[in-house]
Amino acid sequence: MPDIPGAKPVPLSQLTRAQDRLTFVYLEHSVIHREANAITARDTRGVVHIPAATLGALLLGPGTTVSQQAMVLLAESGSTAVWVGEHGVRYYAHGRSLARSSRLLQAQAALVSHEPSRLRVARQMYAMRFPGESTSGLSMHQLRGKEGARVRRLYREHADRTGITWTRREYDSADFSAGTLVNQALSAANTSLYGVVHAVVVALGCTPGLGFVHTGHIRSFVFDIADLYKAEIAIPIAFDIAAAEPMDVGAETRRAVRDYLRRHRFLEQCVDDISSLLREDDGTIEYGPEAFDDPDVVMLWDYDGNDVSSGVSYQEEHEL
């Protein structure tokens, strides 16, 4: 049998476990190719080699050109590629997910499909916004009211801090310039946050459409996760930018969000928070769920709750 052309796939024993990998590497204005089992990034300053087996997700920013062989290597190494805007502030598309196991996706689907567990995760999301306060006995109606009061208070506080006249949150998604300067900045900051969170969600193998608080939209889960950080990131940045009255409020806001996320290692925090929210009570759901111990096992579902092996003839069992 003739040899298959190209470099041999990376042996499974050489793949780094997901939790020990570089979580995300961002590249822009470079040509991405492959040399043996390393990803190469070339720009005007030279060439950088990135061991593919230690890479979690590659964020491809503006001005990147990627070869087919580089994408093959990422797939063989259990890594993913996500096409994004500048430093991830916009999500455009993605390749395969970081996880080879579907455990995190199955956990998300199971939790959102069962009303008690969905309520538990939703309460946990709200609890992350109210540190030190219990949300266990509150209904979704009560939680929405509590969150609404918190956000209105934050708007007033930041308006007083920056000297901006604030009335209410008002925007037209079809006409960005129709809003006030601070409303434009809030829209730009929120959109930037959605883009980065979307990149993390798809890299982990979760589905953006299955939300716990939001529902009915293809990015419901993205909105759920992004809402955890708006008070800390989007709102203060938006008021600061609006107070400076820049010529291009949208661009300035996106750059400010980008810089904040870089300084505070936001991608890692987002990965940890999603993993924590989707973790079962026994702690079995982790980031990079055993993806590289047994990466290509396919099981068959059985209604009694016990998965069975695929690739096995069950004819005799059927005849019985």
147 is in an annotated binding site: yes
Q: How is residue 315 written in tokens?
A: 């004819």
160 is in an annotated binding site: no
Cα(211)–Cα(223) distance, integer angstroms: 8
Q: Are residues 145 and 253 in the same domain?
A: yes
Task: Tell me the C-alpha to C-alpha distance, in Å, between residue 253 and each of 56, 129, 137.
Answer: 28, 23, 38
- Structural domain includes residue 128: yes
Cα(245)–Cα(253) distance, integer angstroms: 11
Q: Are residues 64 and 135 in the same domain?
A: no
Instruction: List the pLDDT tens digit at each of the 320 positions of the chain.
Output: 445 455 555 554 455 454 455 567 889 999 999 998 889 999 999 999 988 777 777 889 899 999 999 988 887 777 778 888 886 777 888 776 666 677 888 899 999 999 999 999 999 999 998 887 888 888 889 999 999 999 999 999 999 999 999 998 887 777 777 789 999 999 999 988 998 898 888 878 899 999 999 999 989 999 999 999 999 999 999 999 999 999 999 889 988 998 898 888 888 889 889 989 997 544 444 444 343 334 455 666 666 666 666 555 555 554 54
Query: pLDDT at position 100, please?
Result: 62
**By the 8 A CB rule, do 152 and 218 touch?**
no
Q: How is residue 4 written in tokens?
A: 């298959």
Tell me, rounded to whole angstroms, the distance of Cα 239 from its chain centroid: 25
Q: How is residue 44 written in tokens?
A: 């005007």
- Structural domain includes residue 258: yes
Q: How is residue 259 written in tokens?
A: 């810089």
pLDDT digits (tens, 9 = 90+) for 272-298: 899 899 975 444 444 443 433 344 556
How many separate domains does the chain show? 2
Q: Are residues 171 and 267 in the same domain?
A: yes
- Structural domain includes residue 53: yes
Query: pLDDT at position 286, please?
Result: 43
CATH number where 190 lies: 1.20.120.920
Residue 51 lies in domain: 12-84
Query: pLDDT at position 176, please?
Result: 77
Q: Are residues 199 and 50 in the same domain?
A: no
86 is in an annotated binding site: no
Q: Final residue of a domain: which of 57, 84, 111?
A: 84
Query: pLDDT at position 311, please?
Result: 55
Q: Which amino acid is at 301?
A: W
pLDDT digits (tens, 9 = 90+) for 144-153: 999 999 999 9
Query: pLDDT at position 57, please?
Result: 78
